Amino acid sequence: MSTATRFAGLDDRSLVVGGVGSVILAVTLLSFIVAPALTGYLGLAFAAFVLVSAVLDEEHTVGFLLFVTTTSTVLILTFITVYLVWNAVPVAREMGLYLLVGSDPFWDTGPDVYSLVPMMWGTLVTTLIATLVAAPLGIAGAVFISEIAPGWAREIVKPAVEMLAGIPSIVYGFIGVTILNTFMQQELSLPTFGSLFVTGVVVGVMALPTVVSVAEDAIAAVPDPMRDGAQALGATDWQTTTSVTLPAAFSGISAAVLLGVGRAVGETMAATVILGNVTQLPDPLMDVFGNTITLTSLIASQYGAASGLQFSALFAAGVVLFLTVMALSVGSQLIERRMRRTLGGEQ
């Protein structure tokens, strides 16, 4: 359907509500940039317009508000992307490829030399460790809740897992730094207080609720006739789960793991609390018990005192994080869409 056809299908009241509301909202947003003192008054005017319009024509007002919220999501994402890239341009112009592949010195605010290699390595290592923790445990938990647990156990375990997602990340980080880090130092005689391994384990536990919830939904979405057919052929419950249910839900489970990985990549407070502000690569490089810094902890620990090219370098770290998490999110959505097409018989 063309744009002209869509507008032709709108009645006069819809055009009036959408047109007047859009003008007031656009003027309000513009005033935030050119005349901030007027933004509050214009915002009140927009709220008054919505209230009056809702009383006179609720249906079209709700439609207009839904349009505004949907459009706002796209505009906010666009603004964030442009703002990050715009502020990262100075350091990208100054450092070039050194920003992504440069060697020692990696991060020196004196001569304004910046390389994100240690931060990207720290993010990669902690994410891999977190994935090794969250993926198998999350899938196992999802299978237990969906296929094995009796009804009373499911009613207890599932809300408990979901409650884990509500625990603030600073609490996880505090537990990691006071218990796990201390254990590593006392029992394993690690020379450093911060540890990529401890950070990865803590972040993996934080990602567990996401993996369990999404994977459990994917397993539960497998049609019952597929299970019934396998059992009718003589398969046991476990054989049905491993040979039919899990392969059928593989796309959804993969999406769950990718979402968990996205949570691990973007975790800030736990990594900042556990890791030290060390802008060097571990020595040796593969030492998972070594101490370095991640992209998120770099931003959290240095943005307060940053200025000039250093401030731009922090935005460059944000751009790398943004692109990574966005790629993981889009990938998980594509995989989940493929799962729905496969299970729903769509082409």
Q: pLDDT tens digits, residue range 171-203?
A: 888 888 888 888 887 877 776 677 888 888 999
Rounded Cα distance between 246 and 338, Å, is 15
DSSP state of 113: E
Residue 136: the pLDDT is: 92
Which domains does the chain carry? 3-95 (no CATH), 107-344 (1.10.3720.10)
Query: Average pLDDT for residues 239-261, to the nearest whole number?
Result: 84
Average pLDDT value over all residues in the chain? 82
Q: Looking at residue 1, what is its pLDDT?
A: 45
* Mean pLDDT value of segment 241-268: 83
Distance CA 216, CA 344 (A): 18
Please give the structure tokens belonging to residue 199.
């950070």
> Of residues 119 and 268, which shows the higher confidence score?
119
Which of 51, 82, 74, 80 lies closest to 64, judged by CA?
Answer: 51
pLDDT score of 7: 42
Single pTM value for the model: 0.80
Residue 259 or residue 190, greater confidence? 259
Q: What is the DSSP letter of 180?
A: I
Q: Is the pLDDT of residue 8 over 60?
A: no
Residue 114 pairs in a beta bridge with: 107
pLDDT in tens, 193-242: 778 888 889 999 888 988 998 888 888 888 888 888 887 888 888 888 88
Binning pLDDT at 50, 70 and 90, where does residue 281 land? confident
Most distant CA atoms of the chain, gap in Å: 76
Q: Give yes or no for residue 347 having a pLDDT over 80.
A: no
pLDDT digit string (tens) for 289-307?
888 888 888 888 888 777 7
pLDDT score at 339: 67
For the segment 36-51, the average pLDDT, to the nearest whole number, is 84
- Give the whole-angstrom CA distance, residue 164 versus residue 213: 11
- pLDDT value at position 294? 87
Q: Higher model confidence: residue 19 or residue 3?
A: 19
Q: Is the pLDDT of residue 4 over 50?
A: no
Residue recorded with tokens 């999406």: 255
Q: What is the pLDDT of residue 315?
A: 92
State how far the alpha carbon of 226 is from the alpha carbons of 143, 190, 244, 254, 255, in Å: 16, 51, 7, 20, 21
Q: Residue for token digits 């513009």?
A: 30
pLDDT tier, 132 (very low <50, low <70, confident <90, very high otherwise): very high
* pLDDT score for 340: 67
Residue 347 CA, chain-centre distance (Å), reads 29
What pLDDT, in 10s, does the model give residues 133-180?
999 999 998 998 888 888 888 888 888 888 888 888 888 888 888 888
Please report, for the chain, how many H helices and E strands are present, in that order.
17, 2
Q: Rounded to whole angstroms, what are the CA distances from 57 to 11, 16, 24, 51, 245?
A: 12, 11, 18, 10, 49
pLDDT score for 86? 92
The DSSP-derived string for 38-61 is GHHHHHHHHHHHHHHHHHH-HHHH
* Per-residue model confidence (pLDDT) at position 265: 83
Residue 189 pLDDT: 74
> What Cα–Cα distance (Å) separates residue 126 from each residue in 59, 91, 256, 274, 279?
50, 26, 18, 12, 15
Distance (Å, whole) CA 304 – CA 308 = 12
What single-letter DSSP state applies at residue 244? I
